[in-house]
Amino acid sequence: MGVFESYIIQFPEDSIFYIVGQIIVILVQVFGYSVLIVGSLIVFSRWRINSNQNKLKKWREYYSKLLIRFLINDFSQEEYENLGKLKDRFERNVLIDVLISIDAADNEIVSRKIRELYFKLGLHKDSIRKLYSRAWEKKIKGLRELTHMDIKTENEIIFKYAQSKNPILRSESQMALVKLIPNDPFTFLEKQVKVFTVWEQINVFDMIRKRRINIPNFAFWLNHWNDSVVMFALDMIRILKQKHSYKQVVGLIDHQNERLRAKVIKTLIEIRSNYAGEVLKKVYPEEEKIIKINIIRSLGWLKQPSDIKFFEQIISDEDDIDLKLEACLSLNRIEGLGKIRLKKLSEDTKDDTKNLISDVLYEYN
């Protein structure tokens, strides 16, 4: 050790400093081994991912070329028999993916041949096996494959998944049922217990737009125990202009759910019901402020001269400045007579109301 030997302090083995030093040494060794292990795992993981990607690319190219030859009838009996003997699960999954991707061309002749091959090779059994898997990702993959191939034998389990706690599986199942039961695509709503989320509603509506399915009378679900289903039905009645549902929609005007009542008001206005105005004016006095604003605003967009007195009464009698403002704006939207009445009110009133009317007339004229 030389001249440095005198600087080395030797602690007794029962000393706290000696014990701490040993612990530090052990920790450093553990850390070193951990870094080595983690590094090795990262390298192995990257190698495995690259290997799987290369393998996937290889087999996708192979089966794509093979299936194209099959579609143009350039396919030997030996090749067909070899496909029938295919046992490797990875390759079978790749084959299903390639079949579906080719079928996306939406050609009737191609679709028929693709589906014939899918069944003859027993690939539908692979899809069903995935549907019953424990992993929700595999369930969804099997669900999509069966739906694409229009296989309805597993609808019962799909109905069950439509009430799953997993939001992604639940949404996928709902969309699958819309495709698989085109004559009664919304039958899953009858047993909808969980909240029918906005995201799920958007997905289902998008399915309505993209596919030729039988559009039901959504008034059927207006008495559903699940408020989220009722609100979806109201949206569909409004968007699809199902005016014949007017009476059922009016029946919800006193619903205890405030958000649902607001949607009822919007629906009545947008389906252009001749009686909407009278119904809304009748319930107005009993409503909460937010609903009152909604009623005033909705009636304002209808621009009906028959509502002028209603707006004038609010401007004159209401104490709430927000309600007065909304009534002024709605009255101002009525071309001709509405604007004249607003100017007359400005002359006959004083203080805050007069200033409010003047501001509306100046800002919006």
CA–CA separation, 141 and 286 (whole Å):
51
pLDDT tens column, 168-196: 999 999 999 988 888 888 888 888 888 89
**pTM for the whole structure:** 0.68
Q: Which amino acid is at 38?
A: V
Amino acid symbol at 116 = E
Calpha distance 56→78 (Å, rounded) = 24
**pLDDT > 80? residue 295:** yes
Digit-coded pLDDT (tens) for 28-76: 777 777 777 877 777 666 766 666 677 778 888 888 888 888 888 877 7
Q: Are 170 and 164 in contact (CB under 8 A)?
A: yes
Indicate whether 155 pLDDT > 90.
yes
Spatial separation of the C-alpha atoms in residues 56 and 53, rounded to whole Å: 5
Q: How many residues would you count in the chain?
A: 365
Give the single-character DSSP code of 285.
G
- Indicate the pLDDT class of residue 135, thresholds 50, 70 and 90: very high
Confidence grade of residue 4 (pLDDT, cut at 50, 70, 90): very low
Average pLDDT score, the chain:
83
